[in-house]
Structure 1
Amino acid sequence: MENITITAATPEELRSGELGRKLRHYNYGFAGEYPEQQYIRLTARDENGRLLGGLRSFVFLYWLSIEVLFVEADVRGSGLGSRLLDEAERQAIELGAKNAKLETFEWQAPAFYQKHGYKEYARIDDYAPGFYLVSMKKLLAR
């Protein structure tokens, strides 16, 4: 173990997916075989092409993981965020997801997600100075 070097992954190594495949095959011994990670990427634009919001997420091990949900300030309250979330959950269920999870700061949208059935299961106080980060999850409808 003396002659091991650690370097930044090359673009080719990233494209190959070899490291992820190795981990997935290791996991199969514990969790059984499961589908590869599937992405759900949604974008909302108005009739002029203006980006109003979007959602970035993926399904892995039957969980929808929401990474980003953003709606421009001037269209918040219009239902766009709900539409994006509902569509992501619908697609995730089609991909086999049984649950959903996300993280959000207290100044962002905990109340929005609670309105959509998400429940807090963990909190890190002072994650950003003076603000907590909350982890939330939801059982998806079947």
Structure 2
Amino acid sequence: MKIKENSTIQANKQVALNECPVTYVMEKIGGYWKPIILFHLLSGSKRYSELKKAIPAITEKMLIQHLKQLEADGLLIREAKPVVPPYVTYTLTSAGSGLKDVMYAMADWAFKQKDRDSSVSDKDPQVLLDQGAIA
């Protein structure tokens, strides 16, 4: 299915992306899995199997799709070494690493709002980091 590039919806989306820096960031890192993938890569390069093991609830299709999107958006680098079996690692770019403070601020805000949304964990983000629950 081809997206109609000159539609009102696409035009409005482009205006929002151009006018609002937060919308631009959310376009790059929004969704269920992208922030989790980015958090795991903050601690260093990871192989596909390491990411899959660290995020067991994600399907292979979604992990592959999000890794490709994050690479296309310049937030990570996929490096394939010419060996058998294939050895592929994913590493954050400087732009991807630059999201660390943004993501921590978002996590901090979420934890402070936990009383409004009982689905948010009771643990402080720094505690989760110290325990290795998030990278």
| TM-score when normalising by structure 2 | 0.25
Which is bigger in relative contact order (C-alpha 8 A, separation at least 6)?
2
The higher radius of gyration belongs to 1
Higher helix share: 2
